[in-house]
Amino acid sequence: MPSFRLNVPALREAAATLGDRRQIDISRRTGINKSVVSRLMNGRDLSLETLMLLSGAYEVAANQLAEEYDDGCEAAA
């Protein structure tokens, strides 16, 4: 099953257009806890709920903010 992580450059670009240059700025605008923002910026898995908050706050399509990757965990068939 694929997992998703944040496309950090895309978020930074979108956030900068609204003057949000720091993680705390992103946290305040979106309501996402700063520690969660930090984990996302460092490559942790991205939940659908968090993706939707970021997408809505910065008016960027969700598919531009998420990157699919293989987490290496295949289910046994």
Q: Find the angle CA(65)-CA(47)-CA(7) to the nearest 5 degrees.
A: 20
**Helix orientation angle between 34-41 and 23-30, rounded to the nearest 10 degrees:** 120
Go through the chain and tell me how many residues it has: 77
pLDDT by position in tens, the chain (length 77): 679 999 999 999 999 999 999 999 999 999 999 999 999 999 999 999 999 999 999 999 999 999 998 766 655 44
Average confidence score pLDDT of the chain? 92
**Domains along the chain with CATH numbers:** 3-64 (1.10.260.40)
> 15: buried, middle or exposed (CB in 10 Å: 19+, 13-18, 0-12)?
buried
**What CA–CA distance (Å, rounded) separates 71 from 77?**
17
